[in-house]
Amino acid sequence: MMTQLTRRQFLKLSLGTTIAGVASLGGGVAHALTVEPRALSLERITIRLARLPRAFDGWRIVQLSDFHHSAYTGDAEVHAAVVAANALRPELILLTGDFVSAVQSNRHADACVRLLAGLRAPAGVFGIMGNHDYWDNGALIRDTMRVYNIPMLLNDAVAIERDGARLWLAGIEDVSLGRHDLARALRSVPHDEATILLAHEPDFADEAARYPVDLQLSGHSHGGQVRLPLVGPMVLPEYGEKYPMGWYQIGNLQLYTTRGIGMIPPPLRMNCPPEVTEITLRSAQV
């Protein structure tokens, strides 16, 4: 069944095709295929949280996401992200899903998580699942993470304690598959304590904003992978269309969406390099 394009979609597609054609003549596509997917960038952002205890003021978190270990993104790319993250010496490292692509194998799951086991942070490394992690065999990633001792927050939460104060980390299962349960994840979290939510799909922020959550960290969209001048991202996934990249404020909730590390087909990045994110938390109480 053919889907009718809106005028806006038609103009975007037409303009994008024209620009892409020009870019290909100048080697742009070759760069997008071979250079930019490996041009790992560091994004630094400071986020002030009203409820963050003074004990956590200045804490640095590294977020990594969307590795998609596969034929397109392999050991070299994941290893580079691990090295970059460790070099920042953060207090905490958070992984926001899609460790492999939809076509999974034990080889890809083990290879990705084995490298991630090399991440080091005093307060620990925590993760959640993404939609691709579930599409073939969700138990595969969960079991592999358990083997390498990386805790997963699947509709659950954990408290990080420092000098008598607490910062909560909550994580939900995948939204696009309907496995998420934020109320369950927050069941043990006091309503007056600062909470960071790991949610793979960024557009879940509209729902998360109705809960006592201070900051949501997401991936999923890859920033679009291909971002064209005057057009922006050519294709965005469901639940990654509204907040595809960067920082947002939704009511009392703040959201950061990373472009991630890996790719899905077509295996290219244009004006949208892979990202390691360093987030410095600041307390409004200081």
CA distance 268 to 263: 7
Q: Are 155 and 178 in contact (CB under 8 A)?
A: no
CATH number, domain of 127, equals 3.60.21.10
Domain limits for position 27: 7-283
With a cut of 70, list the residues of the chain below it in pLDDT: 1-27, 103-104, 136
In a domain, 60, yes or no: yes
Q: pLDDT of 40-83, one tens digit each?
A: 999 999 999 999 999 999 999 999 999 999 988 999 999 999 99
| The predicted structure's pLDDT at residue 217 | 99
For the record, the structure tokens of 19 come out as 């620009």
Does residue 15 sit within a domain?
yes
Q: Please provide the size of the chain in residues.
A: 286
Task: Please state the domain count of the chain.
Answer: 1
User: What DSSP string runs through 118-150?
Assistant: T---TT-EEE---HHHHHTTHHHHHHHHHHTT-
Pairwise CA distance, residues 167 & 183, whole Å: 18
1 part of a folded domain: no
Closest by CA position to 213, among listed 190, 227, 194: 194
Do 205 and 253 form a contact (C-beta atoms < 8 A)?
Answer: yes
Q: How far is CA 254 from CA 159, 212, 218, 221, 247, in A?
A: 19, 12, 11, 17, 7
Q: What is the pTM of this model?
A: 0.90
Q: Is residue 2 part of a domain?
A: no
pLDDT at 7: 40
